[in-house]
Structure 1
Amino acid sequence: MRATHIPMVASVSARLAALGLDVDVVAARAGIPAGFTRRPGTGLDTRQFFAFWRAVAELSGDPLIGLKIGGEVGPSQLEAVSVAALHSATFGDALARLARYKGLCCPEEVRVERSSAGGSGKGESAGERDLARLSFHWILAKESCPTIISDAAFASAHALARVGTGRTVVPHRLELMRMPSDTAPYASYFGCEVRTGCVGDALVYDAEALDLPFVTRNEDLLAVLVPALDAQLDAMGEVDIETQARSVLMKMMRGDRPTIDTLARALNMSARSLQRRLGEAGTSYQGVLDHVRLETARRLLADTAFSPGEIAFFLGFEEANSFQRAFRRWEGRTPAQWREQQGSEELRS
């Protein structure tokens, strides 16, 4: 299992204060009771967490505040998971530890996917050098992740690489779903190409960057910290099969339609066992696939300019009409109608 609520640690108040923001004022703007950060054991669910950081972005008036928040965290403000990452042997080891333990503190998944094509999902040709695509996914989210959170996550990873290696590690490129009016600040901050209108947000590195050694490596500290983190994982129990299946299918959603056999192999079980376990959980392979396709379609329709035909290809439908029929069955309207309504609602708000 993963943590379903996100604790707002004291360092958050300090970081916001340094930026001229009062945490209680932010909470009020987000519709969250004041003083929640001072109540032990209090945490925010994903919806509240998103609302809180949207309020930070609105009150600050700074479109790049996410980069400042994520990139200016001092060692004393790091949580245990980030401390373990910082004292790893290499940048790749650090990201692997983030991926393993992130679920202890929030319902977020860290993915590092290696490929030779390094595609962003649109207009990408094969034949590039080996790349590693770093992305963050809020697995309980029913809405798009606020840009401030995405920016902060990438700025934090960028800072982790810099502090850990003792030098600036320049990414190969930054991929953004959104299309900001000016990408120059991002290009300057990360020192790399910025692509917009992508199928997801990602910070893409040359794969060899994962092997860069960390000057902050501390095996003695890890010998104490890692067993404690592993014990917390064990105490939380195994992730339920439906969540596991959704997570794996989401990673596979790149223009192919994974079969139940493909999914079962990725989960290290037989197709028959997977069918049985999904049935016991009250769902099925088709039900999980439909859920992932619908959530992905909503995200792409809301946050990108991709046509329904392009989205159909990305979701693994053989033809656009099949996607149109499926989406109408799920949402009671066509993809174009859904996108138009979303745009109208945003204008009214």
Structure 2
Amino acid sequence: MRPDQIPLSRGVFERMTALGLDIAAVLRHAELPRELLMQPRACLTTAQFFALWRAIEAASDDPALGLRLGDGTRAEVYDVVSLAALHSATLGDALHKLARYKRLTCPEDISIELTHAEAAVSMRWMLADGHTPPLLVDAIFASNLALAERGSGRAIRLRRLELTRRPTVSNLLSTHFRCELRFNAAQDRIVYDRADLELPFVTHDEDHLATLMPTLEASLHELSATTSLSDKVWNVLARGMRGSHQRMAQVAAALHLSPRTLQRRLGEAGTSYQQLLDQVRHHLARHLLDATDLDTGEIAFLLGFEELNSFNRAFRQWEGKTPSRRRTATMG
């Protein structure tokens, strides 16, 4: 797993200031040092990064602030991964590069799920204990769409947004993204029309890609070599929690291992497939109980439990209470 470091460019603070935020006050609220403003490229942990976004939300009465911050990337200088995406030949190539290399710049996992008609892009913060701040989700998806439209040179009609949050009466998101919204989702996903993956990028630059790609591939190889097998299994499991029971053979195949080799190597690392599956289920169960209105039966299904009673028993083992009691206690 890469270090828990998320770089912040000076441009981030400049955009916040341009949108009327008192950066010093935001940093105080997030309990972050003011010296961050003086650093050419500050780094935060995931917990600090989330605290910063919650402080931004608390400091502003503009519900569209996340969208405006994300949309501002249409004109900013990109990091190396986003720059490689922008120089891609097509939208599909760009999304593939973001999914493949994003974790080189921060502990964010991006995955793409393809069907006959759709391309769903989901994001997950791999080292997060709490929930991703909604304002940050808005900014990430606005930035994703901004890059797609800047690269293609045209407006893109999304299929929909899927959001792990409770429904809101605001129409800001539907107005900005011009698509259907689905709340109480299992994952945060921005869904493109699959046909749009073939859209050519007017920003395509093969010479720049020839310079960037060897470095990105070498860095990815180095990261993969230092990522533990347990972390790799965790990531595969977390990506696939969408209503099907993930068997060890499926996870092993995704990691290009045999089930026996996977089982042996996990044992050598002091864990097991079942232990990791329980950890992922517990982590996602808490998130869905706290952030959505999904009933416990729906959550049990998404986590791959065949029966609600099985989910209830597992949750009692994890926390000493039923899922319903946790939700009641959390909501006060």
TM range (shorter): over 0.9
2:308 is aligned, of 299, 320, 323, to 320
| Paired residue type of 1:150 | V
| Kept in 2: contact 1:2–1:104 (CA 8 A) | yes
Aligned to 1:276: 264
Deviations 1:42-90 (A, max 9, x none): 4111111000011011112211211100111244431111111111011
Residue identity in the other structure for 1:203: I
Q: CA deviation at 1:91?
A: 0.6
Identity among equivalent positions (%) equals 47
Matched, 1:112 2:99: no
CA contact (8 A) 1:114 1:132 kept: yes
Alignment correspondent of 2:277 = 289
Task: State TM-score, norm by structure 1.
Answer: 0.91
Determine whether 1:212 maps to 2:189.
no
* Aligned equivalent of 2:131, options 115, 123, 144: 144
| Residue identity matched to 2:232 | Q
Q: 1:242 Cα deviation (Å)?
A: 0.9
Superposed CA RMSD: 1.5
Alignment of 1:157-306 (within 5 A): 157-238=144-225, 239-306=227-294
Structure 1 letter corresponding to 2:175? S
User: How far 1:237 sits from its partner (Å)?
Assistant: 4.6
Q: Report the equivalent of 1:18.
A: 18
- Rate the CA distance shift 1:55–1:82 in 2: closer, same or farther, 3 A: same
Q: SS state of the match for residue 190, structure 2?
A: strand
How far did 1:256 drift? 1.6
Long gaps (5+) in structure 2:
none
SS of the counterpart of 1:169?
Answer: coil
Maintained 8 Å contact 1:3/1:103: no
Is residue 298 of structure 2 the alignment partner of residue 310 of structure 1? yes
Q: Which amino acid is the alignment partner of residue 63 of structure 1?
A: P
Aligned residue pair count: 331
Q: TM-score w.r.t. structure 2 length?
A: 0.95
* 3-state SS, counterpart of residue 205 of structure 1: strand
Question: Cα deviation per residue 1:186-237 (whole Å; 9 max; x = unaligned)?
Answer: 1111111112222222111111111111011000011111222223334435
Task: Name the aligned partner's letter for residue 287 of structure 2.
Answer: R
Q: Which runs of 4+ in 1 moved over 4 A?
A: none
The answer for the alignment partner of 1:120 in structure 2 is: none
Q: Distance between the aligned counterparts of 2:224 and 2:121, measured in 1? A: 26
**Deviation for aligned residue 1:290:** 0.2
